[in-house]
Amino acid sequence: MTYLRTIYRLVAMAVTMAVCVPVAFSTDIKVGAARIDEYAHLLKGKRVALLSNHTGVVDGRHTLDIMLENGINVTTIFSPEHGFRGNADAGEKVQGGVDAATGIPIASLYDGQKGMPSAKTMNRFDIIVTDLQDVGVRYYTYYITMMRLMNAAVAYGKDFMVLDRPNPNGMYVDGPVLDMKYKSGVGALPIPVVHGMTLGELALMIDGEGWLDGGRKLGDRLTVIQCEGYTHGSRYRLPVAPSPNLKSMLAVYLYPSTCYFEGTVVSLGRGTDYPFEIYGHPSMKGCTYTFTPQSVPGAKNPPLLGEKCYGCDLTGLDEEAVIAAGVNFEYVADAYRRLEMGDKFFTSFFELLVGDGDVRRMIKAGKSAAEIKASWHDDVEAFKLRRRPYLLYKE
């Protein structure tokens, strides 16, 4: 890993030597859910469905409690992947139920059902409010859940509101734009891996671009309650882990570059203390760092469970250098070279995560991470122009 650390030191030096731009930190930012005076009056007299989970908090208090204390009539809770409490494994089916603290029914949107909620559920409310902490990566499924409910809102004539939150990876746009032939449960829109938008901005783009079913639109029935003090250059440190295996800000920053191991034979550290910050395999050559995945909450049956893996430790990397490098396929390429397994290194899930069929071929051909990144440059620039009308915050 010496060469990787050298690369990142050089990147970090370049970032430090660049023209300094003021950066807003978490203490300067007020999330949409905290701006109760901006949205409570819009919800009074309406039956409200809240799409949220453990990330919907303001200073340690859940948005659900804040709404109820302000006389807002919440009649339904929708929960995304990982469940309302955020403790289910990635991809694990989560059943609905009742919130023990309030008695409000919970309708799971990650219970294995693909369609929209039932008519019985949809008839319980007038407006859907979304308050989720996304991480701004195309294969992170919260935006897909939001879009599913946007489709339901259009179909049933409901209003839709997003209580916006900062995107911790909102400072850049990078990665392949999804080729829609690879559309799946981990990729639903023709956007780059890192799209650089908040959920509020993305909701406006989904609606404005006609990406809902049948090209239908919510129009003026879509409202976004913006954050205060946020720009796309902000460094927003998440108050809680957005999902069980994104345990640190470094993991959030590495996620756009290391999640592709999910589409290979390599472990990315699920079942350890450092998921997305390490990678390895029992047969990886030239590595002294070792780890052994175990069954733990949030990773009950991780890849290579109980097997001693040899690999690479990224936990010491500088956060700003990782951000500056963007989507970086050097880690996957490094593991591919070390394992010498050819196509057996990859699974079909790799293309679903990447969103195109070229990256695998480039890795096999020995292309550098810089050459791979150059392959999507023009598509990213075109997307940045396309998204501009929907941005709510300064770039």
Closest CA to 357 of 219, 167, 179, 137: 179
pLDDT at 113: 59
Residue burial 169-189, b: 16+ Cβ < 10 Å; e: rest: bbbbbbbbbbbeebeeebbbb
Chain Cα centroid distance, residue 233: 18
CB 78 within 8 A of CB 49: yes
Residue burial 256-276, b: 16+ Cβ < 10 Å; e: rest: bbbbbbbbbbbbbbbbbebbb
pLDDT at 99: 85
Q: What is the pTM assigned to this prediction?
A: 0.91
pLDDT in tens, 51-72: 999 999 999 999 999 999 999 9
CB 69 within 8 A of CB 43: no
Strand, helix or coil for residue 100 = coil
Q: What is the CA radius of gyration of the chain?
A: 21
pLDDT at 15: 37
Low-confidence stretches of the chain (pLDDT beneath 70): 1-24, 81-95, 110-115
**Helices marked H in the chain:** 2-17, 36-43, 63-69, 119-122, 142-156, 199-208, 249-258, 319-325, 330-339, 349-354, 358-364, 369-374, 377-387
